[in-house]
């Protein structure tokens, strides 16, 4: 997990990846602490999660920051690859 801190902000933001039960990534998300605890997303996410019996331990946080810009850039990079 990468960590990037901005001392001017107290709020943490995360980039996370949700994996299927066979360890294939199917969703890259960004959000604050509340967002990463939520289980459901859009219809695409719900359908795959149900099919693979998704559990919270299938979510891996890959980046933590106090600055909004790096998390958006990292999400774009992860979505492209």
- Give pLDDT tens digits for 20-45: 999 999 998 888 888 888 877 899 99
Locate the domains of the chain by residue range. 14-61
Interval 1-30 mean pLDDT: 79
Would you give the DSSP letter of residue 57? G
Kindly report, residue by residue over 51-68, the tens digit of the pLDDT.
Answer: 999 999 999 998 888 887
Interval 62-78 mean pLDDT: 80
Contacts of 4 (CB under 8 A, 6+ apart): 63, 64, 65, 66, 67, 70
What region does 69 belong to: left with phi over 0, alpha with psi -120 to 50, or beta?
alpha
pLDDT at 58: 94
**How far is residue 1's CA from residue 60's CA, in Å, rounded to a whole number?**
9
pLDDT at 26: 92
């Amino acid at each position: 997990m990468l960590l990037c801190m901005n001392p001017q902000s107290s709020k943490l933001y995360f980039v996370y990846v949700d994996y299927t039960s066979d360890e294939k990534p199917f969703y890259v998300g960004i959000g604050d602490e509340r967002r990463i605890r939520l289980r459901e997303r859009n219809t695409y996410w719900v359908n795959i999660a149900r099919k693979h019996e998704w559990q919270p331990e299938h979510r891996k946080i890959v980046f933590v920051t106090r600055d909004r810009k790096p998390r958006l850039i990292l999400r774009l990079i992860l979505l492209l690859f």
